[in-house]
Amino acid sequence: MSDQSARSGSGSMSFLYCTDGIAAKGQDFFLLVGRVLLGWIFVQSGWRKLTNMDAFISTSPTSLQNRGVPWATFWGWIGAPLEFFGGILILLGFATRYAALAILLFTIAASLIGHRYWEFTNPQQYGAQHTQFWKNMSMKGGLVLLFVAGAGRIALDWMLAKRK
């Protein structure tokens, strides 16, 4: 089958070209949906930490101090606001590439601090932490894609750039 017949809708490849067209026509909407879905987890998780910093830093069994993080107070007061405000920036599409990179670095650190599945011998704990670690890896992939693609036109980045 020639490229021309595939593009005109005949043959088995027409479905693939149709999905390409949907993605192209709806790119800005799909980038908005992706930003909301990706950013929301950081907003809610950061908010939960900000509203209970003592537990996040020192008093809960899973606190930074109990996980052996050096300078836990310092890193707690860096990490929680970064997670919360970075998520908001992604949601709004403001300074999106910077926010994606900052949250990417945060997620790398959080994965290595909080989801060290290789340290667990209990199968349930191992499985739970393994799942969380690899969930974070997929979020990192989304952040890399957001860094490359940018926020799209339904975003403060685009609206502010358009004013210039």
CB of 55 closer than 8 Å to CB of 75: no
Taking the C-alpha atoms of residue 96 and residue 67, their distance in angstroms, rounded to an integer, is 31
Residue 45, CA distances (Å) to 40, 63, 162 in order = 8, 14, 32
CB of 53 closer than 8 Å to CB of 72: no
Question: What pLDDT is attached to residue 62?
Answer: 85
Give domain limits for the chain.
14-163
- Taking the chain (164 residues) in runs of 10, the rounded mean pLDDT of each run is 48 78 93 97 97 94 90 95 98 98 96 90 93 95 97 95 84
Question: What pLDDT is attached to residue 163?
Answer: 84
pTM: 0.85
Tokens of 15: 């479905």
Q: In a 3-state reduction of DSSP, which class is residue 17? A: helix
Question: What pLDDT is attached to residue 5?
Answer: 44
Question: What pLDDT is attached to residue 17?
Answer: 82
Q: Residue 38: what are its φ and ψ, rounded to 5°? A: -75, -45
Question: What pLDDT is attached to residue 50?
Answer: 97
Burial per residue of 105-129, b for 16 or more beta-carbon CB atoms within 10 angstroms, e otherwise? ebbeebbeeebebeeeeeeeeeeeb
